[in-house]
Structure 1
Amino acid sequence: MGRTHANRGALLASNLPQLQNLIKRDPQAYRDEFLQQWSHFQSIQRIWKMQPDAVEDGQHFRELVSFVAQVAQCYPEDTKEFPNELATLLRDHYPMLTPDLRRSLVQNLVTLRNKDVITSIDLLRNLFPLLPRTTSSTLRSFIRTTILTDIKTANARTKNHKLNRAVQAMLFGMVERGMDAEVQGDKGKLRNPAPNANGTSSGSKGVEALWAVLLTKELWRKGVWNDAKSVSIVSLGCFHPVAKVQSASLHFFLGEEDEDDDSESEDEGPNIKALMHQRGVKKKTRSGEKKIAKAEKVAKKKRKENATANTPNFPALQLLNDPQTFGEKLYDGILRYDKRYSLEHKLLIMQLLSRVMGTHKLCVLGFYTYIMKYLTHHQLRVPSILVALAQSVHDLTPPDALTPVVRKIAQEFVHPGVGAEVIAAGINAIREVCKRQPWCLSEEDGGVELLGDLIEYRKSRDKGVVVAARSLLQLYREVNPGLLKRRERGKTASMGLTSGSQPLPYGHQRDAAMDIDGLNLLEDHLNQAKEGGSDVDMSEEDEKAWANWDVETDESSEEESEDGWMNVESDGEDKFDVSDSDDEKVPPKPVEDAATPKDEPKRVSTLATTKILTPADFALLQELRLKEAQRVVEAGGGSHSKRKLAMLEAQKKVTAAITEDPSAGIITESVILGARKKAKADYEERMASIAKGREGREKFGSAKGKKKKGVVSSTTNREKQRSKPVMMARQSGAVRAKKMASLRDKQKRIRAHIDRAKKAYH
């Protein structure tokens, strides 16, 4: 019996897959065999740590590690230190490991995670340090895919806040560790990468920070993370000393793809032109046609993705913590490293700074002084610089800071010594700046003369210049016609000035906001719905109205109650005197309006003080205001009612456009360049136009024999000759030969004709 057991142990020791299968079926029956292999693994590991070259059979060691990882869940007490030992080998002895052993150790760590031997946090904590250290693209791709898949799976059904906070803390630390490093050269590489206690160098801090930013961007793009903590990781990367990390972070907020990313991004798509060429050369088969059709479908999808690739990341811009400090730090960085950064990198910073200033209405006044040195018509990438300038302006920007900028653009771009395209770009840039802050041109600073000179270009011969000048004229007819000459104001603007309606100066408002326009319409609508006998609870309706609008809350918050409210302890009971009774409510005083008779005070709704308005309520309010304006116009309202209706309709279109496409209100280079001559189409555009013209048209060819006959067939050559025009038949070779034939030939032809006739008659 002992010999049988010994033989079985020797057999199973040489066949680990069979032993692995038996252990999974009955762990306790084969515990001794496992302990034998476990002690063998421990001895080889100790030998390898002391002398890595002493272990000759690396394949056996990898098989032994894989075997222990596969059956570790069967003996949790014996293998509780196994994950730590694998992590120690990867962390402390990574340079001495062979590529195959590295890959095997990483794969076995993933196996332990799949079998729930270790948690996701333990796995990710061991994988993150490997990304900047590995030089194998295959292993790096495997680690990256494993990290993204694990986090995505953990957040598939509900948000795993515990895991997300832990991973975000690790990524934030990866970015923060290299913030104080010194760089050298124009590319921002770390200086003196001295190794530390773990054998890693400070040069890897820039690489690990880059990977932290790339992983955050990928998780954001996939929709796994969409909170402010993710944005804070990338926002910190915008100030990293390594230019590559900073560039990747800037591209995240601008919604663009970074060309220097080390991530395994997808290719540009199939080359349709090359496939069509191969199709024409090689033998035509059905499989080839299917391949081309599939490639065209992929290329169409790629073109659609590239069309929306340059859309700014508006949700991330909105989630920035302290945007004013963020913008000031961006400006300080570009000012400090102006000579070190390249023009492309400085342009990225200017674009992001302008987006932040325009989105949050910030005032970084030094930015306008800095950008003035780039406002020359011969400057590289000047359309993008003008876009950044215009995008940074808003209604709270001081006009005094913009007046020198507008004058510099006019002096450099709008004069007879430059081309028509340069003049159009300058006028368009001035128009976009004045559109956001009309008071940058004023009478005190000579803005009337400058505006008049710019408007005179509407008499130019170039179409782009004419369109730009006319758009600037139309803008000031609407916002401030007082700066225009009397003959240039137009009828509507002149009547407005005669009636006394003047634009308010910078920083002024007409009246204090006492009520929401049209809120009484919403109150009447809700009262009618309540009186109509609806049994639906208003609280349930409010919950439905807030659907898809609630801000995501943290499940681990201990201070919040089950209904979502936070319990706040008051210092004293007599400190606040709050009553909800209807008798103690003080009705608001009616506010008179210029359009309302004095004896009939304007009604002020109390709905905003008694109900929390939901986004659905504001959408309904917009519809009710539009219907009321239409009713007033149909009832014979004057021009004021018609203008109000047009304004509401335009506002609805703008709101719908922004909802569908958040980038609808941004400025692009095409807006600055203006209307231009149509560029010559390339080969692909011409072929697309030809294919579009052939849609719905039958294939070219004659339809005589196919449609005019009972049996589908083509006509013979003799039938075609009969229908040939006489004037064309006279010029044929046969007719000419008859005319030029000799007497002998004519006699032969006549004799042959007589013989054929006799035969036919008999």
Structure 2
Amino acid sequence: METGQSNNNRLPNNLPQLQNLIKRDAASYADEFERQHSVYAATIVIFEQNPSVYNEQLHELVMFMAQVAHCYPEQLNEFPQELMTLLKRHASVLHPEMRMSLVKALVLLRNKNLLSPTDLHILFFQLLRCQDKALRKFLQQHIVTDIKNLNAKSKNMKLNKELQNFMYEMLKAKYAVAAKTALNVMMDLYRKRIWNDAKTVNIITTACFHKVTKIMVTALKFFIGKDEEEEGNNSESDSESEGEQVALRAAVMAYRVNKKTKKRKQKRLDKAKAFVKKSKKEKTTKVNMDFSAIHLIHDPQDMAERLYKRLEKMNERFEVKLMMMNLISRLIGIHKLYIPNFYAMLQRYLNPNQREVTKIMVFGAQAAHEEVPPDDVEPLVRTLANNFVTERYSNEVMAMGLNAIRELSVRNPYGMSEDLLQDLAQYKSHKDKGVAMAARSLIVLYRDKNPLLLARKDRGAKTELKAEDKEQAFGENKARSFIPGAEILAFKTEDDESESGTSDSDDGEWVDVEHPDYVACDDSDEVGSKGNIEIEDEGKVLSTKQAVKEVMKLTPQERAEKAEDIVCTRFLTDKDFAKIAAVQAAKYVEKFSLSKKTKNMKRKLEAIEEKTEAGELVSLKNIEMIYKKRKHDREARLQTVMAGREGREKFGQRKGKLNPNASTTNKQKNKGKNFMMMKHKVKGKQKQSFRDKQMKLRKALLKQQKYK
């Protein structure tokens, strides 16, 4: 036993123990290290004579040297280069385990900063040619981790630029595995927000034109994906929700209440609240981008044109063509590009019998931004109407066609003609709910975009908010020098008085029109009962609600002048913006009164419903949404019937006898008798012939004469 223990504790043969001791005190064990280093040199010479055989002793010595390399930098100065040379010479013939051992040793040396990352990455990309799937996965994982660690504390721009240039060269390499790995590495680094700059994105764009289909598809999937939600958005949403609550309270306060029914009051109040929420949502969604990589492309027009040319000559599977169409449509929609032939190509696929036709509808809507000429959009709209919105197809096909036309018109309303829109609007009374809802959504859209295209009965009521906005023609760009709704700041509100200390503390509170103690007033109400407010411009004394009414009496030109004066003379606070949101909500629900404005203006009926929003991307659900309830088979209907009977009283007469001990009636007794006993009674109820009635009457008359 003692001899065995002494043999196990001998340092030359126990490398893990020697490794631990060297890390604690390298100088004391220098002789033991030199002895092991000599063994390593001799083993290398022997191994190179037959590199295809796995050498366990060499494996242990290599890992030992890699662990203690930082303790003896002078003796092991050439050690990393020796391992790299060994891999370069015999990479293809090495045993898989031996090759993995040498690679792991180099990773240890790189973690100790004894090897430059560029040299190691160059070697690893050369090793990708080896037919070893586990090795390729390990190399790719290490490259991503190494670059991530290099940029952990601060970004090393010089080194990143050097590595990015190397990745670009690998993407152009003839060897497909190296190019695919380089692409995967760059995509992983972008998603991890390490290399999320424009240079990385533009290097990845070159892979979209790669000759190898697998590499091209990988790059296309990268660009048609979406960014993951950031964790920091939660805190921002909390602050936004607080601001939304303030604006909602202001909208309730400024809501103009007339002598209406309670139901109508609530309906108008709900519209005001919905308008405030929608306005807040629009301000936040305009900043957020669906996928930031597309926004970082330097020359999107050139890229879209090259992709379109390749798409025309492509002989790949239809799924690959769909990916290419998707990316082209996103580039056109996000960067507002102009590729006229793309819309003509989509028309060839817009047929109900076409596979994945709903996705092609989405691509057409994504590519239709407001700067595309109507001559290019109108044929696409006509094709959708002629091929889908027709009675010869099912209701689902008609609904999807109308939804596709709506999504396309949201982004470019100039491709719709008056005759076509009025024809499509007739489907609002269709018997199928899906078709009717799709047609009504199209009507609501054009009530906001261009109500003159609709029939007079479909235009809706004009509101004060729409009276300020005119229809925008194609190519027209509106630039305002004021903030709409800022004219309310010309009047002092109760909050202003409470902050200045000139009024009571109760005067500054918001008025809740839903409170039971609140008494609504109409246009004939006297000057405010809660406090007298001064107006800066006219010197009048009005309540807050009366100040909103005064704003409603102004013409759009007068409102614009007052708003411009306010914006140019003061800074706006959060409470000021809450007041602006409140007066805009009041304009949204207040119908335009012709008597208050110039009498020569012709009344134009427009919508007061919610607008249809247009984002960067089109959701497939917006086109495929069908409101029709699916039919059930007999078994499903029977299950529904039986489920409804559970817990219910037995079907029949619920009212029983008043006296349970009473006898049954003759009618109830007849139900239990034999049919032959009741046959004569049943026969008597049958319809009698005229002869039988005549004879019966004759007998009755003779009987009467007999007893007289």
Q: If the length of structure 1 is used for normalisation, what is the TM-score?
A: 0.58
Give yes or no for contact 1:520–1:605 (8 Å, CA) kept in 2: no
2:200 counterpart letter in structure 1: S
Partner residue of 2:459 out of 470, 474, 489 = 489
2:305 counterpart letter in structure 1: E
The question of 1:394 aligning with 2:369 is answered yes
The question of 1:220 aligning with 2:214 is answered no
Match runs of 1:550-561 below 5 Å: none
User: Partner residue of 2:506?
Assistant: none
Q: Could you say what the CA RMSD is over the residues aligned between the two structures, in angstroms?
A: 4.6
2:44 counterpart letter in structure 1: Q
Instruction: Give SS of 2:410's match.
Output: helix
User: Partner residue of 2:330?
Assistant: 355
The question of 1:164 aligning with 2:160 is answered yes
User: Partner residue of 1:143?
Assistant: 139
Deviation at 1:327, TM superposition (A): 1.9
Check 1:79–1:606 CA distance in 2 against 1; reply closer, same or farther (3 A cut).
Answer: farther
Check 1:484–1:600 CA distance in 2 against 1; reply closer, same or farther (3 A cut).
Answer: closer
Check 1:600–1:232 CA distance in 2 against 1; reply closer, same or farther (3 A cut).
Answer: closer
Instruction: Give SS of 2:338's match.
Output: coil
Deviation at 1:619, TM superposition (A): 8.0
Match runs of 1:646-657 below 5 Å: none
Check 1:28–1:249 CA distance in 2 against 1; reply closer, same or farther (3 A cut).
Answer: same
Match runs of 1:61-100 below 5 Å: 61-100=58-97
Give yes or no for contact 1:254–1:313 (8 Å, CA) kept in 2: no
Deviation at 1:59, TM superposition (A): 0.8
Give yes or no for contact 1:254–1:312 (8 Å, CA) kept in 2: no
Distance 2:336 2:370 in 1: 8
Partner residue of 1:432 out of 402, 407, 423 = 407
Check 1:524–1:472 CA distance in 2 against 1; reply closer, same or farther (3 A cut).
Answer: closer
The question of 1:115 aligning with 2:112 is answered yes
Deviation at 1:108, TM superposition (A): 0.7
Distance 2:303 2:78 in 1: 45
Check 1:451–1:647 CA distance in 2 against 1; reply closer, same or farther (3 A cut).
Answer: closer
Partner residue of 1:505 out of 473, 495, 516 = 473
Give yes or no for contact 2:208–2:215 (8 Å, CA) kept in 1: yes
Partner residue of 2:565 out of 591, 603, 608 = 603
Q: Deviations over 1:10-53 (max 9, x none)?
A: 96444333433343343334334433433443343344445536
Check 1:163–1:31 CA distance in 2 against 1; reply closer, same or farther (3 A cut).
Answer: same
User: Partner residue of 2:617?
Assistant: 666
Partner residue of 1:58 out of 50, 55, 60 = 55
Distance 1:346 1:20 in 2: 58
Deviation at 1:107, TM superposition (A): 1.1
Deviation at 1:99, TM superposition (A): 0.8
User: Partner residue of 2:255?
Assistant: none
Q: If the length of structure 2 is used for normalisation, what is the TM-score?
A: 0.62
Partner residue of 2:148 out of 133, 145, 152 = 152
Instruction: Give SS of 1:667's match.
Output: coil
Give yes or no for contact 1:457–1:465 (8 Å, CA) kept in 2: yes
User: Partner residue of 1:557?
Assistant: none
Check 1:519–1:382 CA distance in 2 against 1; reply closer, same or farther (3 A cut).
Answer: same
Check 1:35–1:372 CA distance in 2 against 1; reply closer, same or farther (3 A cut).
Answer: same
Q: Comparing both chains, which one has the higher relative contact order based on Cα–Cα distances under 8 Å and sequence gaps of 6 or more? A: 2
Distance 2:82 2:490 in 1: 69
Give yes or no for contact 2:487–2:562 (8 Å, CA) kept in 1: no
The question of 1:364 aligning with 2:344 is answered no
Check 1:314–1:76 CA distance in 2 against 1; reply closer, same or farther (3 A cut).
Answer: same
Match runs of 1:248-397 below 5 Å: 248-255=218-225, 313-337=290-314, 340-397=315-372
User: Partner residue of 2:657?
Assistant: none
Partner residue of 2:446 out of 476, 492, 513 = 476
1:672 counterpart letter in structure 2: I
User: Partner residue of 2:170?
Assistant: 174
Distance 1:471 1:386 in 2: 17
Deviation at 1:504, TM superposition (A): 3.6
Q: Deviations over 1:571-620 (max 9, x none)?
A: xxxxxxxxxxxxxxxxxxxxxx9522999895274589xx9xxxxx9988
Distance 1:470 1:637 in 2: 21
Match runs of 1:740-755 below 5 Å: none
Deviation at 1:397, TM superposition (A): 0.9
Give yes or no for contact 2:462–2:591 (8 Å, CA) kept in 1: no
Unaligned runs of 5+ residues in structure 1 are 1-6, 179-201, 258-310, 442-446, 534-592, 612-616, 655-662, 683-688, 694-699, 701-725, 728-762
Distance 1:475 1:649 in 2: 9
Q: Deviations over 1:149-169 (max 9, x none)?
A: 333333334334344333333
Distance 1:618 1:390 in 2: 39
Distance 1:21 1:496 in 2: 79
Instruction: Give SS of 1:52's match.
Output: coil
Distance 1:139 1:429 in 2: 48
Distance 1:402 1:254 in 2: 23
Check 1:317–1:620 CA distance in 2 against 1; reply closer, same or farther (3 A cut).
Answer: farther
Give yes or no for contact 1:452–1:484 (8 Å, CA) kept in 2: yes
The question of 1:464 aligning with 2:434 is answered yes
User: Partner residue of 2:388?
Assistant: 413
2:95 counterpart letter in structure 1: T
Deviation at 1:382, TM superposition (A): 0.1
Distance 2:188 2:151 in 1: 14
1:503 counterpart letter in structure 2: E
Check 1:418–1:116 CA distance in 2 against 1; reply closer, same or farther (3 A cut).
Answer: same
Between 1:75-84 and 1:215-224, the stretch displaced more is: 215-224
Q: Deviations over 1:91-114 (max 9, x none)?
A: 332111101111101111121123
Deviation at 1:230, TM superposition (A): 2.6
Distance 1:624 1:649 in 2: 22
Unaligned runs of 5+ residues in structure 2 are 1-5, 228-287, 501-554, 597-605, 634-639, 648-659, 662-708
Instruction: Give SS of 2:154's match.
Output: coil
Between 1:456-465 and 1:241-250, the stretch displaced more is: 456-465
Partner residue of 2:203 out of 226, 233, 241 = 233
Check 1:355–1:163 CA distance in 2 against 1; reply closer, same or farther (3 A cut).
Answer: same
Give yes or no for contact 1:596–1:602 (8 Å, CA) kept in 2: no
2:27 counterpart letter in structure 1: Q
Distance 2:113 2:470 in 1: 72
Give yes or no for contact 2:490–2:566 (8 Å, CA) kept in 1: no
Q: Deviations over 1:481-517 (max 9, x none)?
A: 2223334434449x999x99863431124x6544555
Distance 2:405 2:23 in 1: 76
Give yes or no for contact 2:349–2:357 (8 Å, CA) kept in 1: yes
Give yes or no for contact 2:406–2:442 (8 Å, CA) kept in 1: yes
Instruction: Give SS of 2:557's match.
Output: coil
Match runs of 1:527-566 below 5 Å: none
Between 1:60-69 and 1:618-627, the stretch displaced more is: 618-627
Give yes or no for contact 2:486–2:563 (8 Å, CA) kept in 1: no
Deviation at 1:367, TM superposition (A): 0.9
Deviation at 1:237, TM superposition (A): 1.6
Distance 1:329 1:155 in 2: 35
Q: Which one has the largest radius of gyration? A: 2
Deviation at 1:435, TM superposition (A): 2.2
Give yes or no for contact 1:455–1:470 (8 Å, CA) kept in 2: yes
Between 1:381-390 and 1:102-111, the stretch displaced more is: 102-111
Identity over aligned residues, as a percent?
37
